[in-house]
Amino acid sequence: MRKTALVNASGVNEVKQEVDEGNEALQVEVDVSVLQELENSYVGVLAINVEVRRIKTTLYMEGLTHIMVMDMGRNMVLLYSPKSGELESLCKAKA
């Protein structure tokens, strides 16, 4: 039995799933500080093809200089804010 930690808006959920022993899997210890950072993060899919640099510039011009935007490939981005709840309120305001 292997465990996987999922992080969403309501916190950390532990999911247990069966893994076939024939499959190779990398087992690592989860660092609590990394989980805390992921709790303040969002993964999004870009609706239009836009450069991540343009998103960073827009956030900077709106005064949100502390929000980090990282390209994850395949039109996905990771948004991170050190302030808890800030990304959630930003996403609600932009919707």
Q: Are residues 62 and 49 in the same domain?
A: yes
| Global confidence as pTM | 0.62
93 neighbors 85 (Cβ within 8 angstroms): no
> Per the structure, how many domains does the chain have?
2
- How far is the C-alpha of 3 from the C-alpha of 12, rounded, in Å? 12
Neighbouring residues of 5: CB distance < 8 A, sequence distance ≥ 6: 12, 13, 14, 15, 30, 35
Q: Are residues 60 and 92 in the same domain?
A: yes
Task: Quote the domain boundaries for residue 68.
Answer: 41-95
Q: Are residues 18 and 34 in the same domain?
A: yes
The tens-digit pLDDT sequence of the chain (95 residues) is 444 444 544 544 444 555 556 667 778 788 888 888 888 899 988 888 889 999 999 999 999 999 999 999 989 999 999 988 888 888 888 76
